[in-house]
Structures are given as structure tokens and as C-alpha cells.
Chains A and B, each alone.
Chain A
Amino acid sequence: MATVSLATVSRRFAAGSAAVDAVDLDVRHGEFLAVLGPSGSGKTTLLRLVAGFERPDAGRITIGDRIVADGPLFVPPEARRIGMVFQSYALWPHMDVRRNVGYPLAVQGITGAAYADRVAKALNAVGLTGYETRRPAELSGGQRQRVALARCLVMEPAVVLLDEPLANLDVHLRALLQAEFTAFHRATGATMIYVTHDQTEALGLADRVAVMDQGRIVQLASPEELYRAPLTPMVARFVGRGAVIPAIVHTVHNGRADVEVLGRRAQLRVAPDQATGAALVCLRPEDLAVGTNGPVARVARKAFQGSHVAIEARLDGAVLPMHLGPDQAAALGDTVGIDIRDGWVIPARD
């Protein structure tokens, strides 16, 4: 177990702007932190900086109480004692499962009974006992990722880094392995940093989520807070697919604001120091309901989702995602009245 902390860490590539731009980040002891962002946001570079595969151009990285990168000081990855799980699994095709999993032990010169014992334990933990002599090519995608996990487990790392580990798997396996990651985290107590572009993975797995955009961390918060109170329009759109709509804040009182939005007055949640005047608000499907006296919008898209019907209602260029219950009906092109029950005034602009 260890903390991981980054202080004004930057990494620039030859052409263009910084991939990671003066990032400050403190990952707590034994925390499961997800780094969420669109492709090109710098999240993988951030992870590779912690692992030591990239060298920062500026800033300091600390793992536990040990500085691993600071100016000329640089600890190479092989000396950082980190576990890494790759999107491609990175299993060595010329070794069988046993030798793949036991590799970190072989590196340390561990042989004989201790080696066999620890490999068996790690394979047992991921449910692959009996697969010792298989080659990676003979395994399914899910099994390969479990071997990669076992290889990580066997070295009992203080920090585990996961780089989109589920991106190459189908939906069903993803759900299964997500549960295994949670169990893995609970069993080892290791600090985990999990990079993904999939918000359901990030929100479902992590203690805290860091949202990255253009090389910077735009918000670091618990999944609940991230969803309910996004700091910027980018986070509001990217997490939970909220509608971001211009509005005017009239008064702020006791965590509530009197806001003029879509031509109506509504009471929305707000940060205590929110100024009055023009602002953007985030409206999610559960904030909206079909009503009788609200603004009138037109149903532009409709998709049956089982428990509900998701529709997109359009009004003055705004696109509002809404859910209709089983007893409500609306056809494409119909007009519906919209009742704004709740919402969030976004504190910052992009």
C-alpha cells in the first residue's frame, strides 16, 4: 500500500501541446482511483508517467515516501515495484501461463517451492488453477486478462496501474471482470489507478474519479459528486450525458438558486459561492419530467430501453434527454410539456 502523488507534472511530446499539463494529483493509501477522459486527453500518458515508461519534463512524482521522478532524479519502471495491467494484456507468447505469472518472481530470483506456491496462489485467486501449462494463444480474452491480473497479484505490488484493461472484451465479460477488479482491490488493499474512457466503469468501480481533458484534471471527486455537481460543462456532458443549457441566475440562497432557464423559473442546486448572472446549467433525465405547465418541446428521438423509454426533446436548439415511464406515451414529432424538478448550476466555463 502506498500513496501516489504528482506535483505540477508535465509531459510534452515533440509536436503540439502538452499531453499532461502541470497536473497535481494525490492518490490516497489503498484508494481505487479512476482516471476518466476522452481519447487524447492525456490519461494514458499520466499512467505511464506514474509507471515510469514516460519521463516528466517538469514536476515531481512520489510513490509512498519515495520520490521517483524529480528533475534529474528518475527511478526506472523496473525499480518502482508497480503492477501494471495492459489493454493488450501483454502476455509473452513464448511462455506458458505458469512462466508468465511467475515472471516477477523469477526476476527476484525466487525459485523452487516458494515460486510454485505463490504462482499457485495467484492463479487460484483469479480462478485459473489447472491452466498452468497453457499458452496465451490457447486462452480466451477474459482468461488472458485474468492471467495478466495474476501476474500483477504475484508480485504483491504497492500500486497497481490498469490501462483500459476491459477495452478489448465484450460487454458480458466486462461486467464479470469489473466485479473481479473490485474483489482484487478488496483482497490486496493495493492503491489502484484505473484508466478508462468508459464512464460506467469509472463510476461503478472507483472511490474517486479524476476527469481529464486536454492534459489537465478538470475535476477530482467521488462518483456521486461528479454526477451530481460537475465543475465544468465538459464534465457535465462527458459524465452521465447531461444537457448543458444557458441560463440566468437571479438569487442564490442556502444551496438553492432561483434560475431562469428555457423561459421558465426553476429552483436548482448551486455551489455556495455562485455569482448571479449568466451561467450554464446541467439537466439530467431524472431532473426532468413530462408536465402540463412547463415549456413545450418536440420529441426528436425515441428509444425503448426496457424499464423506460428514452427520448430526446428539442426546444430552441437545446436537446433534453428524458425518460418516459411505461404508462407515458409519446410519438416522434409530438409536443410535450417539460417540468424542471431539479438541476445543477455549473460553477465554471470550459
Chain B
Amino acid sequence: MDGGEKGVRLALVGFVSLIALVPMLRLLWEGVAPAGSPDLSIVIETWTRSATLRALRNTLVTGIGGTLLALILGTGFALLVALTDIRAKAALVFSFILPLVIAPQVTAFAWMQAFGPNSPLLGALGLAPPLGTRNPLVGPGGIILLLGLHHAPLVFLAVRAGLRLVPRDLVEAAQAAGAAPMTILRTVILPLLGPALAAGTGLSFVSAIGNFGIPALLGIPGGYTVLVTLVYQRLAGFGPRVLPEVAAIGLGLAALAIIGLAVQRWRIRRDDVRVVSLAATTPGWRLGTWRPVVEASVWVFMGLILVLPFAALIATSIVPAIGVELTWERMTFSHYAYVLWDYAAARRAFVNSFVLAGLAAAVLMMAAVPLAVLADWRRSRAIGFLAIAAEFPYALPGVVLAIAMILVLLKPLPIINLSLYNTVWIIFAAYLARFLTLAWRPVSAGLAQVDRSLEEAAQGAGASFIFRLRTVIYPLLAPAAVAGAIIVFLTAFNELTVSALLWSSGAETLGVVLFSLDQSGESTGAAAIAVLTVIATLALMGVGAALGRRLPQGVLPWRP
């Protein structure tokens, strides 16, 4: 190990410890010893309050309900696409995955436009609920529906990955034994999918209980509070003095997520049906005369979950005012002009979100390559440990990380005596912590495909670690690193959960502006912002797809 490598290793250990490990430990400390000595009174007091318990119950109801819906939709769709001869699979998969890539608050907002009393589309058909009534999606039912739709792609991806491990000969052996497709599904395929279903379910549950956008838009108006929105309301209402209390709520939420992940792990381990896969099963079971019917229903479903809400979203963004019937003559782009030029907070938010997401993607992309090399090739214990530590800020609900960041950065930083609280940089620090693992994973997958002797040859030629990084390692891992950067950018750009707790005037993100415009009833402006973020998201997915052929399979979720 040369001096350069030692330096890089030390810098990375410091970086990851500071952004990922320190905040989480600080939060834990706040929970068990708020005044410096062990004291659980605040935790106990918070968790015996009826408001907290009601929020917990609501979190469990919507979390479990949404997960069940996601499980049914995701599994059914994965089986349909992988096992039958349904046509246009690539287009179906893309449409099904899309809700995952679009920010939940955008989806929730779009659905509210589509089914509310002011729905320009339902209004045109005379089907809209009467004016003045509450939006039918507000409340637990709507939250469960949208959580289910938003997380169904997670289950789909897990099940599809599981199906790729089911060897063809196992299915063919069952067929040769005389089993009909439904019997094979029940007796061979589904049992082998156990771990994949557990993985998808666990992931979907943890995401659902940590989701902010959907319960914020669909819960707050009806007074239906979950733990995440409770934290938001307490902090927004009372400021940093309720930190000990929200830290206790955050720890409870983290515990819930950890239980979910632990159950998932246990279920995956329990029946280790690891199989040596030569060729994956693609039986192409014939739907026969049912095929047109099945295809039509699937596409109607896609229309319902994609076209209808987003058509409503676009319609809202181009009507002159809410409640006005949309016609060709009245169509206007003034709301776009408003959010892009006239409304200062929105203009700032565009800049902030672009810069924050771009910087986070760039920094994490640069860090991920040496991190992966040191963890996977050098087997550095410290970095290997930090790889696990870096999973927590992403796996745990975003509000947990946000509370931890406030705790760490509320007081001015030591030595330089500068406070990041109430600046855009606290959001940046939180993004680095939250999305590090998203940048790291694809690089690690890419590294597994690189022959180590490529680095050793450079080493033998006399190149130092820094020189090797620059001339050999970065160029070889560039596609995977860029894929990671795109995923980080997309996620950060659409992010609301973390910034909802950390934003301040002048440091708004697009998610925050969309949310506050919606809260203050300015739906047209909110719709314009939502449309613009969807366009930016789709454009970036296009860039990713263009890069796709040079990437390991499974790095970009929306690629088949």
C-alpha cells in the first residue's frame, strides 16, 4: 500500500463515518440519553401518548395494507410477464416500473387531480364528485391504494429476479411428470420464489412506512396522521425544541423498519432454496383465447394508473384557474411561466434541486469507485464495515435520517464555527448520507466483472494508487459509476421526505415547493412543477437507457 492509497483510505473512512455513522449514533444517543446520562423517560412519555399510538396504528394499517396490495400486483404482473406468451412485454414492464421512478408526491398529487371534485377530465365527462366535497382519495383507503401502486414495482423487480433463478429443467421436469401450468406454479415455481417474495415484501413495507409524500398529501387534509407526518407536523409547528420527542418517534420508526428487515432476512435464510441456474425458465405458457382479454385488461389497468392521473396533471397545469372547464381556447401556459420566472421560491427550488442532486451524484460517484475497490479488492475491514453502516441512512425512513442530521448540525460546527442548519448544505449532507449506497452498489457489481490483473499490471508498471485510479480503475468502472450517478440524481431530484424536514427559506427543493403550493391550494402552479419534474425524470431515464448496453444486468431497474 503506497502513501496515496493510505491517504485515500483515510479520507474515505472519515467521509463515510461522518456522513453515515455519526448522525445515526447521535440519534441513538438522543433517544437513550438525551441529557447526557441514560434516561428513557422521554421515549416512554412519547410512546404512551395517544397521538403517537394513533399514528403508529395508522402507520401499520397503511403500511401493511399498501404492502399487501403491492405484493398482489407485483407478483401477479411478474408471473404474467415471465411465464406467459403475453405480447409487448418490454412496453408493459416499462409502464409498470414507471410509478417507482416518479416521485410519490407527484403521483399523489396527480391522482388527486384526476379524482377530485375539480378534476378537469371527470368534470368534462360530468363524472366529478360534487364541488365542496372532500377528495375521495383522502384518507387511509387512498393512501393504501397509492402506496400499493408505488411499491408494486419493488415486488415486481424482486420476483422477476427470483424467477431468473428458477432453472428451466425444474419446470420441464414437472411438465414431463404431467403437471399442468397452474399445478407447476403452485408446487414448483411459487415455493422456489419464497426468498424473492420475502425480499420484495420487506422492501415494500419499509418503504411504505417511511413514505412521506403520499400520506402528507392524502392524510394531512383529512387529519389522518402516520408517524412520518406526525414528525413533520411536530417539527414544523414547534421547531427544534421538540427534537427530543421527535427523536423518540424517529427511533420507534427505525425500530419498526429494522423489525421488518429482520423478518425479511429470517424468511430468506429459513428456506435456502439456492439453485444452480443454467438457463432461466421461460415456459411461454399460452393464454390462448384469453390472451386478448388479458392483454386488454392489463393495458386498461396501465391507462388507469398512468394515463389518467398524468393527463389530469397536465390538464390542471394548463387550465386558467381551478374549477374552470378546460377548452382549447382557454388553454394557458401561464402557470409554467409563473413557476419558472415569477415565483421566486419555485425558481430557487429548480436551481437547488438540480445543484443538490447533481453535486450529490458527482461526489458519490467519485467516492464510490475507490470505496468499492478498497472494500471488494483490498478487503479493508474498516471500509467493509462502513459499507454496512452506509445502508442504514437509505434503508431506514428518510425522516429518521433528517432528525439525525438536525441533531448533528443544529449547533455550529466545531473549529470553523459555521452553522449548516437552515442552509441548503444540511440537505446536501443528508443526501450524501442517504444515497451513498445507491452509488456504491452498481460500482461494486461492475467491479465484480473486472479482472483484477488489469490493476496489477498497472501496479507492476510502476503506477501509484492515485495514478492507477485515474488511468485504469475509473475508466474501467465509468459505466457503472455513471449508472449509479444517474440513479442518485433521479432519486435526489424527486426527493421530498428528507428536505421536508430540513428546508428553510432560500433552501427549498422542488418537492417542498410542490408540497407547499398544494397545501396552500395553488394546484395549478403545483401541477406545472409536477409536469416539469416528470419531464426531467423521463429525460434522465433516456440517458440511462442509452448507456444501458454497457452495464451489468439489473443495475438500472427500468431496463429489462
Contact = CB atoms under 8 A, between A and B. Distances in A.
A93 B462 contact: no
B1 A76 contact: yes
Contact of B462 (A90, A91, A108): A108
A92 B454 contact: yes
Contact of B461 (A53, A91, A107, A161): A107
Binding site secondary structure of chain B: helix
B2 interface: yes
Contact of A90 (B1, B2, B457, B471): B457
A84 interface: yes
Interface in A311-333: none
Contacts of B476: 92-94
B456 A77 contact: yes
Interface string A16-55: 0000000000000000000000000000000000011100
A88 interface: yes
A302 to B, nearest CB: 38
Interface in A49-79: 51-53, 76-79
Interface range for A = 20 to 34
A106 interface: yes
A307 to B, nearest CB: 40
Contacts of A90: 451, 453-454, 456-457
B419 interface: no
A77 B471 contact: no
Given A77-B456, A94-B475, A88 B451 contact: yes
A155 B155 CA distance: 54
Interface residues of B, number: 19
Contacts of B467: 107
Contacts of B459: 52-53, 76-78
B450 to A, nearest CB: 10
A84 B454 contact: no
Interface string B449-492: 00101101111111110010001100110000000000000000
Contact of A78 (B454, B464, B475): B464
B6 to A, nearest CB: 11
Contacts of A155: 461-462
Contacts of B453: 86-88, 90
A114 to B, nearest CB: 16
A76 B461 contact: no
B462 A79 contact: yes
A81 B178 CA distance: 67
A77 B463 CA distance: 9
A271 B529 CA distance: 92
B475 A84 contact: no
Interface in A101-133: 103-104, 106-108
Nearest to B461: A104
Contacts of A78: 2, 459-464
Given A91-B457, A93-B476, A107-B462, 5 more contacts: A77-B460, A80-B460, A83-B460, A84-B456, A148-B457
14 contacts: A51-B456, A53-B459, A76-B459, A77-B456, A78-B2, A83-B460, A84-B457, A84-B460, A86-B456, A92-B475, A92-B476, A103-B461, A104-B461, A151-B457
- Which 10 A-B pairs have CB atoms at the shortest separation, nearest pair first? A90-B457, A104-B461, A90-B453, A84-B460, A86-B453, A77-B459, A94-B475, A107-B463, A107-B462, A78-B459
